[in-house]
Structure 1
């Protein structure tokens, strides 16, 4: 039988550090936790679908992934900024709610476009495809641009060798 006596205190210390930070950034209460888990889930699904789409169309580049990490940090900080504005102005979750809904809507649109690019469009309703068509067009154009840059770099390397 394994001795987990060290692992459990470490989990407790991690939770003990995380919870106050979470409460400071996003506020307290079970509703806040549910909202932020949903928000983080959207971001995670967008990453999964975007990664798969980029692998399929050959546009994956680590540079783009690094930029995505910064984008994710920004997306996670926006609801926190909203909460802090609410605290400073003594408002009842107005800025938090507005920023969270606005960015969640954008993430949902990005995720849906990535799902379509990944070839999983049969699970996306027609009305949703219409609503994300402009986002899909932009994503495809950016993917083509990344593919062109990768091809140009490979051609330049071949010429130099």
Structure 2
């Protein structure tokens, strides 16, 4: 009986709309990104989210954060999410099963990892010295950008 009572909270209009949206978007995502690629796309999305998080903390620490900073990240993130879809479609056209998709996606993951790691360093979060050394050029670029922004 208790199980049936808990179903009342599941059968809502909002949940119905969410299920409908998910069911109608699933074929679109399958078409754009291909099958069996959810895991790597989840990795990319988590990396983008971590880049946002660390970027906000780094910008707040060096006093360069503004509402423009956050708004400018939205088109950049949409671009990063769209590139694997374009690569997947090109794979289909050229006939290379996943070559471009995986190359572009792993490249974006590496680029985003470098950015979020440098942001974490700039935010003052502890990182191993070996990791800091790996992303030192990105750290320097972010520091120079923050210095230019602070002067303007």
Structures share fold, TM-score greater than 0.5: yes
Q: C-alpha deviations, 1:14-68, integer Å up to 9, x for none?
A: 2112212211221112xx1111011000000000000011011111022232222
> By how many angstroms is 1:11 displaced?
1.6
Moved segments of 4+, more than 3 Å: 1-4
| Structure 2 counterpart of 1:49, from 54, 78, 89 | 54
Of 46-55 and 138-147, more deviation after overlay is shown by: 138-147
- Structure 1 position 13 matched with structure 2 position 20: yes
- Give the alignment's TM-score, normalised by structure 1: 0.84
Q: Structure 2: how far apart are the matches of 1:68 and 1:11?
A: 26
Q: C-alpha deviations, 1:55-99, integer Å up to 9, x for none?
A: 111110222322221111111111111100111112110000100
Matching of residues 1-161 of structure 1 within 5 Å: 3=9, 4-29=11-36, 32-120=37-125, 122=126, 124-149=127-152
- Give the alignment's TM-score, normalised by structure 2: 0.89
Of 54-63 and 97-106, more deviation after overlay is shown by: 54-63
What SS does the aligned partner of 1:119 have?
coil
Of 57-66 and 104-113, more deviation after overlay is shown by: 57-66
What SS does the aligned partner of 1:60 have?
coil
1:154 is aligned to: none
